[in-house]
Amino acid sequence: MKLFLDTANVEEIRQAAELGVICGVTTNPTLIAREGRNFQEVIKEIAQIIDGPISAEVVGITKEEMVLEAKELAKIHKNIIIKIPLIPEGLKAIKVLSSLGIKTNATLIFSVNQAILAANAGATYVSPFIGRLDDISHDGMELVSDICQVFVNYNYETEIIAASVRHPIHVAQSAKLGAHIATVPYKLILQMCKHPLTDLGLENFLKDWEKVKNK
Ligand code: E4P
């Protein structure tokens, strides 16, 4: 399973890249706002650190605005993926961008039908938001499961990004279900790494080594 980092914080991206476990980045307007920096500058910097798909989201709400923004963003780097919200105007934009060879990530996906529409319009990726569904007492994992099943049934090439991931179990379950990618915050990478038996095992190995290291 591929892992993307869900952040616009370049320091976190550097640290995760050093671990060698991520191959892409997703951002959104909220994550960019959190950094308080110029959008294009941040995206350029991310592209220098990660040699893989970097999702940058449009903020226009008409096809024309989205396509215009997308063309500008796509000029920044060959790895830029245009994140488009799943609304009718977004579908139109995905269709245009797909015909221009510009890759897209259909975002704010909360139903199987939205994922089908995005794939039919030519989206490169769909991003079902697990955590936000869980937040309103719906089952986010069930959505990932349903999209995985439908995409297999119809041989869709569109890749599934498990998004709005809140804890390590979301990642493991998405992987079992066959989501191609999980996009996760940096702290989640560290949580995935952590196991108390690893820490205890290492502590004991080092203690035992102390007993014999000078023999
Ligand atoms: C993914 O592309 C989204 O930016 C992100 O996963 C949203 O996560 P949130 O629901 O934690 O804001």
| Ligand 1 in reach of 69 Cβ (< 6 A) | no
Protein residue with its CA nearest to atom 8 in ligand 1: 164
Using an 8 Å Cβ cutoff, are 14 and 49 in contact? yes
Q: Would residue 83 show up in a list of annotated catalytic residues for this protein? A: yes
What pTM value is reported for the model?
0.96
User: Which uninterrupted H or E stretch holds 24?
Assistant: strand 24-26
Do strands 125-128 and 181-184 pair parallel, antiparallel, or not at all (unpaired)? unpaired
Do strands 104-109 and 54-57 pair parallel, antiparallel, or not at all (unpaired)? unpaired
One of 44, 63, 71, 83 is an active-site residue; which one? Answer: 83
Which CA distances in Å does 9 have to 102, 154, 191?
A: 25, 37, 18
Half-sphere exposure of 46 (CA within 13 A, CB side): 36
Protein residue with its CA nearest to atom 5 in ligand 1: 164
- Determine the atom of ligand 1 nearest the C-alpha atom of 127: 2
Rounded Cα distance between 22 and 79, Å, is 14
Protein residue with its CA nearest to atom 1 in ligand 1: 163
Rounded Cα distance between 159 and 23, Å, is 14
pLDDT in tens, the chain (215 residues): 999 999 999 999 999 999 999 999 999 999 999 999 999 999 999 999 999 999 999 999 999 999 999 999 999 999 999 999 999 999 999 999 999 999 999 999 999 999 999 999 999 999 999 999 999 999 999 999 999 999 999 999 999 999 999 999 999 999 999 999 999 999 999 999 999 999 999 999 999 999 999 99
The residue among 67, 63, 61 whose CA lies nearest residue 82 is: 67
Classify 124 as helix, strand or coil. Answer: coil
